[in-house]
Chains A and B, each alone.
Chain A
């Protein structure tokens, strides 16, 4: 009985072997293809690992040979904070100063779109803080259109901005919190998508527009506190220029940097560390205003 079972087992094994052999034979071509592709995929995986290893080694070598191994990172304030500072210092509303919304159709390059997204953000903040409700909503609509071109649509939709603005008309405090939420969303979006450098360019547009509004309002009605806040912007401009330079690997912003550096020359007296409380004179504010207006015209397209 046992011997018969053994015989049966051996027979079954033989049959299985023959069956598997026949399957392998029939799938030979398929197996060869499968093997080749698996080898290729494994090579890709190994290469990715090797590449990251070699990049890591490269970085270590680079750090070892450089004298200064530490790189500084820059934080830029929100345009909202600057706008609020100026408002608190006496920035009143003058109609028709802000950038026309119909110009948004002309901004076709990413360069123009980013800068003017900042410009219109500053204009929206200016209108919100001066209770210009319809203007605020018009600028929000314009920002939506630009954000589509910049693939940033989700930012404005995610916090129900339009509805919140409309339901808080006249409540400046709530409106500024809503603007702060928008800033948060934008920073998160840019960070998650590795677009920190875009934030610097958007900020540039907003900063130039805010400085333009501040200087224009001041020229209409001289205000010491406003001049003090304008003078203080020297602190921001240095960081802004450094931040753009740091990320401008493709030299796309050479001209913009040169224009900002020209404006920065107006702050030479303030950037001198021995003059921490230096405030721009009336003449210096006038020259600064001209340089800011010149760059603003270039950004918004005359």
Chain B
């Protein structure tokens, strides 16, 4: 019985000694840095569409024109149209455009805006058939 126990005692003594010699180094701090580049995106506005009857009394207002601006939180921005108005040359009708708001502050999610369009009344226009169509291309810009 003694012959078996002695080697076991010796082995456990060696393990205990190894455990006592484990060394822990002092904690080392480190920095985590980030550089955030602010940005905005803008969706293409839905087509701004007018229907107009020659010589109509009241102004024609457009449908469509909705778009979204998405900017970094707290980032201020401005919105501008390349022109506040123009003329549909093929049908000789003048129109005006405006924005539901010309500035905003980003909040990280899409913020809705609208391009409003109007064609003043009492314009005769030019159309030699039952109805005529014309299109025009415009651009809006979000600056930040």
Say whether A and B bind each other: no
B residues engaging A (CB < 8 A)?
none
